[in-house]
């Protein structure tokens, strides 16, 4: 690992100043950053440790019913917070379907949002990667790319964003609260992660030095609490990134969809909101035909970026499955294998 300076600011203003210096990286739990520093895909000159900053580790319920999740709230603490999990069960399910218990105990909400792609070519310094080294090319295009993007990719980059947490958050209109030199600003989470286009090295809409201080879910996001799921297909039953995943949330009245939310994970460089599918579902009966049409619309623009055409059909199927499960109703208790498509009902075993 390359040597670095370690600084521990005592205020957000100090953190923003230190983080704005060239070569700085923000350290939360470090579960992604330290891993990257060990293999060299991150080589910061300065780590700005924000873990001691006051006021960033709370789950705060605001008077209007929205909830503010501090950037330093650990993944496990959020997922197991009873009030939070009851209002936003698919967010809890997504959190518990990600990583391992040890990582969830450490990893922070802000860090989850800001984690990097797991594209092997991004992390392998001997490979060409426009995201890591602009203009060098993309070895993934002609490499092992069966898990790469099928939506929103460009010839310069076909990486995906690996977060589970972000998928239901984007579906539920989460907002990112950001501190920077010019004070506080807000951004829809959907606008935070950028598609690669011609500049895959620009991964997010954050400016140098800007720090995510909280994520906020609006009160209306809880309207879906009784009919929402996050489903995830993995190459092993647990502790693996999504091949494809879907967060579905419905308001159903007398069998008719009043309101629908849908987002996909594992398919693009950002959590992918499927608004056309949402619009098409609204006012329709919660039926297999409506869900199949929603899946068709959600993947209408999908294109294989390599040996991954199978992901398009898989994504359609997981959309149908997630909508079907959401329409059936949120399980009373988190299932033994959160997010797993191999668990069809509460309490069932994944091994027959």
Partner 1 sequence: MSLSINLTINGQLRDITLDDPRVTLLDLLRERLDLTGTKKGCDRGQCGACTVLVNGRRMNSCLALTASLDGAVITTIEGLADGDTLHPLQSAFIEHDGFQCGFCTPGQIMSAAGLIAEAQAGDDPERIRELMSGNICRCGAYQGITEAVQQAQREMIARNRKDAA
Q: Which residues bind partner 1 (CB under 8 A)?
A: 1, 3-6, 8, 27, 29-31, 34-35, 38, 47, 49, 51, 76, 80, 99-103, 105-106, 237-239, 336-338, 349-350
Query: Shortest distance, CB of residue 216 to partner 1, whole angstroms?
Result: 26
**Cβ nearer to partner 1, comparing 48 with 151:** 48
**In the complex, minimum distance from the CB of residue 239 to partner 1, in angstroms, rounded to a whole number:** 4
The encoded tokens of residue 330 equal 């949120």
Q: What phi and psi, each to the nearest 5 degrees, are found at residue 98?
A: -105, 150
CB of 302 to partner 1, least distance (A): 30
Q: Which is nearer to partner 1, 121 or 291 (CB)?
A: 121
Distances in Å between the Cα of 6 and the Cα atoms of 19, 20, 46, 236, 328 are 12, 15, 6, 37, 51
**What's the closest the beta carbon of residue 252 comes to partner 1, in angstroms?**
29
Question: What distance lies between CA 284 and its chain's CA centroid?
Answer: 28
Instruction: Tell me, rounded to whole angstroms, the distance of Cα 120 from its chain centroid.
Output: 19
| 100 vs 133 by CB, closer to partner 1 | 100
What spatial distance separates the first Cα and last Cα of the chain, rounded to whole Å?
A: 45
Nearer to partner 1, 101 or 197 (CB): 101
Sign of the alpha-carbon torsion through 4, 123, 171, 246: negative
Question: By C-beta, is 136 or 344 nearer to partner 1?
Answer: 344
CB of 138 closer than 8 Å to CB of 121: yes
Q: How far is the CB of 86 from partner 1 (least distance, A)?
A: 16
């Amino acid at each position: 690992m390359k040597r670095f300076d370690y600084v521990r600011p005592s205020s957000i203003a100090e953190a923003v100043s230190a983080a704005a210096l060239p070569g700085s990286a923000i350290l939360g739990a470090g579960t992604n950053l330290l891993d990257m520093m060990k293999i060299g895909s991150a080589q910061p000159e300065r780590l700005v440790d924000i873990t001691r900053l006051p006021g960033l580790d709370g789950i705060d319920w605001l008077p209007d019913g929205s909830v503010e999740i501090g950037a330093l709230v650990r993944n496990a603490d959020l997922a197991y917070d009873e009030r939070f999990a009851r209002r936003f069960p698919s967010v809890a399910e997504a959190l518990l379907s990600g990583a391992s218990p040890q990582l969830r105990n450490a990893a922070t909400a802000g860090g989850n949002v800001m984690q990097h792609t797991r594209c092997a070519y991004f992390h392998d310094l001997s490979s060409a990667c426009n995201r890591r080294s602009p203009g060098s090319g993309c070895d993934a295009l002609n490499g092992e790319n069966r898990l790469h993007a099928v939506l929103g990719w460009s010839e310069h980059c076909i990486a995906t964003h690996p977060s589970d947490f972000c998928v239901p958050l984007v579906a539920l209109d989460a907002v990112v609260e950001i501190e920077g030199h010019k004070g506080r600003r807000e951004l829809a989470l959907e606008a935070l992660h950028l598609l690669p286009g011609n500049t895959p090295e620009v991964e997010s809409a954050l400016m140098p030095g800007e720090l995510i201080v909280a994520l906020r879910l609006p009160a209306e996001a809880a309207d879906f609490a009784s009919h929402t799921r996050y489903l995830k297909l993995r190459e092993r039953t647990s502790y693996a990134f999504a091949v494809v995943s879907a967060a579905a949330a419905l308001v159903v009245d007398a069998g008719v969809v009043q309101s629908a939310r849908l987002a996909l994970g594992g398919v693009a460089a950002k959590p992918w909101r499927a608004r056309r599918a949402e619009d098409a579902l609204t006012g329709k009966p919660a039926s297999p035909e409506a869900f199949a049409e929603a899946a068709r619309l959600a993947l209408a623009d999908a294109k294989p970026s390599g040996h991954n055409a199978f992901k398009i059909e898989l994504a359609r199927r997981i959309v149908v499955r997630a909508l079907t499960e959401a329409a059936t109703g949120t399980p009373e208790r988190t299932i033994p294998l959160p997010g797993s498509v191999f668990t069809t009902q509460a309490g069932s075993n994944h091994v027959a």
